[in-house]
């Protein structure tokens, strides 16, 4: 039954897109709340170096990006505030790791590699094994977020209150780092290293003005991300455009739409309030 279902490459691509959306969107809410946009970008760029490592040692393609993303995130967390400002450190490490990864790939002899597929994704080539990795990673990220939701949320909103409640902000930061590295590793195949940050940020930013609670924002961002993946995949198929960038463009269009809706709702609410207060 399942073999027949996954014989169609479009079905596999749809499941892959939804799997990445389920992991990236709720995690992206914490990235937005903590203002870690550049952090996610740096971790994603480092994944290119991980691709070179996987190819060099003939390891599974997700293993290298996962390892390098974890090392990058841990190193940045450890060094931030000691030598350089966070944005400076992230900028240096993001671009350096991306450049080193690209140079390292060029030295691989006897290996044919479609570099564009790793930079911008190749969701249409996703296989059943890739789906297992993507959904396994998504399940791990969702489990981490569900189990540590209170600690992560308190540490994000008020570290002092988190301490008083028995949570360690540093430990919660490390858990968030692990989840981010997992998302980067499993999303490489779908949207590529250069667009992973967009999948983390845009759905969460789209949901933010429309929601009043953190939980509602996480759920709304997940729905938006899944919708963007499916509509972007269909649009790419119909117009023969690059799938990963098309998914991100769809998500960006929804972001603009949500901003317009939010402004209209605010304008209508202000008008009704003024009318109610007028004699």
31 near 204, Cβ under 8 Å?
Answer: yes
The Cα–Cα gap between 95 and 103 comes to 12
- Indicate whether 2 pLDDT > 50: no
The Cα–Cα gap between 172 and 165 comes to 13
C-alpha distances in Å from residue 258, one per residue of 200, 220, 266 = 17, 12, 12
Share of the chain above pLDDT 70, in %: 89
Indicate the Cα dihedral angle 183, 189, 192, 193, nearest 10°: 50
b/e map of 129-164 (b: 16 or more CB within 10 Å)? ebbebbbebbebbbebbeebeebbbbbbeebeebee
Closest CA to 230 of 207, 255, 247, 252: 247
Report pLDDT for 125: 87
Identify how many contiguous H helices and E strands the chain contains and give both numbers.
13, 0
Strands, DSSP E only, in the chain? none
Q: 1-10, 88-97, 165-174, 204-213: which has the minimum mean pLDDT?
A: 1-10
The Cα–Cα gap between 224 and 25 comes to 8
Share of the chain above pLDDT 90, in %: 35
Closest CA to 112 of 65, 55, 190, 62: 55
pTM of the model: 0.88
pLDDT, tens digit (0-9, with 9 covering 90-100), for 228-245: 999 999 999 899 999 999
Q: How many CB atoms lie within 10 A of CB 261?
A: 12
59 near 232, Cβ under 8 Å?
Answer: no
pLDDT, tens digit (0-9, with 9 covering 90-100), for 175-212: 888 898 899 888 888 888 878 888 999 999 999 988 98
Going from N- to C-terminal start, the domains of the chain cover 2-277
In sequence order, the 6+-apart residues with CB closer than 8 A to the CB of 241 are: 235
- Cα 175 off chain centre by: 15
The Cα–Cα gap between 265 and 267 comes to 5
CATH of region 2-277? 1.10.3470.10
């Amino acid at each position: 039954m399942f073999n027949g279902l996954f014989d169609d490459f479009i079905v596999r691509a749809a499941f892959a897109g939804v799997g990445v959306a389920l992991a990236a969107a709720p995690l992206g809410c914490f990235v937005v709340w903590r203002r870690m946009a550049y952090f996610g970008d740096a971790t994603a760029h480092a994944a290119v170096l991980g691709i070179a490592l996987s190819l060099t040692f003939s390891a599974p393609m997700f293993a290298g990006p996962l390892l390098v993303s974890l090392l990058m995130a841990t190193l940045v967390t450890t060094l931030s505030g000691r030598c350089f400002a966070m944005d400076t450190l992230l900028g240096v490490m993001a671009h350096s790791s991306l450049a080193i990864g690209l140079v390292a790939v060029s030295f691989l002899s006897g290996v044919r590699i479609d570099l564009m597929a790793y930079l911008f994704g190749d969701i249409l080539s996703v296989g059943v094994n890739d789906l297992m990795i993507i959904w396994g990673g998504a399940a791990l990220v969702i489990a981490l977020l569900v189990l540590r939701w209170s600690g992560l949320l308190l540490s994000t909103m008020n570290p002092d209150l988190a301490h008083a409640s028995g949570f360690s902000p540093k430990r919660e930061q490390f858990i968030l780092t692990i989840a981010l590295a997992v998302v980067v590793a499993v999303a490489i195949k779908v949207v590529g290293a250069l667009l992973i940050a967009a999948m983390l940020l845009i759905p969460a930013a789209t949901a933010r003005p429309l929601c009043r609670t953190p939980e509602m924002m996480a759920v709304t961002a997940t729905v938006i991300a899944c919708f963007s993946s499916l509509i972007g995949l269909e649009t790419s198929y119909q117009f023969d455009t690059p799938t990963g960038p098309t998914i991100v463009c769809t998500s960006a269009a929804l972001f603009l739409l949500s901003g317009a809706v939010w402004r209209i709702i605010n304008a209508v609410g202000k008008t009704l309030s003024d009318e109610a207060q007028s004699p």
